């Protein structure tokens, strides 16, 4: 089994549609990532976060320092709540437009990441609103580059092309998925997740479990999806009890990041 022999201090690069950095210390990859964006002429980045985890985890300190080193202005939007609304996405995009953001950096769990993906589309498609996007009034072909710094081992939003947002005033949750929504870079650093409470750790891990059960039993399931689902179930079964009793166990958090 992979998790028996892995070195959780080795930051490995997993190439899917996104480039994902997985391992303790992966947050340090934010420096070369921002350096690459700067080399492309990007001088301002919209940073989409929740209320406090982006700071409490230590992720923001790394992002802010790297942005300063590369001369990039980070505009912080930190008002994303669980199950974000189209109004929230519009507000975040408005801030991005005000600073002429050339990329979006999302820090958090599924909600900030989904909001960041959505804002990245709006910033690349002037005149469109979040309601236009989530009520399927247009089909986006482009989005600004997105960097996703994941702070929970649950949704997998940092490496997929989906976003779920509630349409304001309708109490209706809508999901969209387009190829342009894949993050360019994803960071999964288990050291950023040791502060998750037992309740949060349990809920996000069960989320990962449920998503792979759905993928493996869907009519569109394929052998790869089933193989990955089987591995995910095993990882959650093995490492969730350890994370609950030893919250700072990096090997357990690494296993749950891999599962997500």
Q: What angle do CA 191, 197, 200 make, to 5 degrees?
A: 100
Alpha-carbon gap, residue 168 to 23, rounded angstroms: 37
Instruction: Please give the pLDDT value at position 188.
Output: 98
Q: Is 254 exposed, middle or buried (0-12, 13-18, 19+ CB in 10 A)?
A: buried
Instruction: Please give the pLDDT value at position 3.
Output: 52
- H-run or E-run covering 149: strand 146-150
Give the residue carrying structure tokens 């947050």: 27
Q: pTM for the complete prediction?
A: 0.92
Regions in the chain scoring below 70 on pLDDT: 1-6, 12-16
Domain spanning 8-192: CATH 3.30.70.600:
no
> pLDDT tens across 73-116, in order?
999 999 999 999 999 999 999 999 999 999 999 999 999 999 99
What residue segments make up the domains of the chain, in order of their start? Answer: 8-192, 198-259
């Amino acid at each position: 089994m992979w998790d028996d022999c892995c070195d959780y201090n080795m930051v490995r690069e997993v190439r899917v549609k996104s480039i994902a950095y997985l391992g303790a210390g992966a947050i340090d990859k934010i420096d070369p990532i921002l350096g690459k964006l700067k080399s492309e002429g990007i001088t301002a980045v919209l940073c989409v976060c929740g209320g406090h985890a982006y700071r409490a985890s230590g992720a923001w300190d790394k992002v802010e320092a790297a942005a300063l080193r590369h001369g990039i202005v980070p505009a912080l939007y930190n008002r994303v709540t669980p199950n974000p609304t189209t109004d929230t996405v519009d507000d975040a995009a408005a801030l991005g437009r005000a600073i002429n953001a050339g990329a979006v950096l999302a820090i958090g769990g599924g909600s900030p990441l989904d909001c960041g993906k959505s804002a990245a589309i709006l910033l690349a498609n002037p005149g469109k609103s979040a309601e236009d996007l989530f009520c399927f009034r247009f089909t986006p072909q482009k989005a600004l580059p997105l960097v996703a710094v994941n702070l929970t081992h649950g949704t997998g939003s940092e490496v997929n092309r989906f976003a779920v947002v509630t349409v304001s005033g309708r109490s209706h949750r809508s999901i969209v998925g387009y190829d342009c929504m894949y993050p360019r870079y994803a960071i999964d650093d288990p050291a950023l997740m040791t502060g998750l409470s037992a309740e949060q750790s349990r809920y996000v891990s069960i989320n990962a479990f449920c998503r792979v059960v759905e993928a493996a039993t869907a009519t569109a399931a394929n052998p790869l999806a089933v193989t990955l689902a089987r591995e995910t179930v095993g990882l959650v079964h093995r490492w969730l009890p350890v994370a609950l009793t030893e919250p700072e166990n990096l090997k357990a958090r690494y296993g749950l990041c891999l599962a997500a």
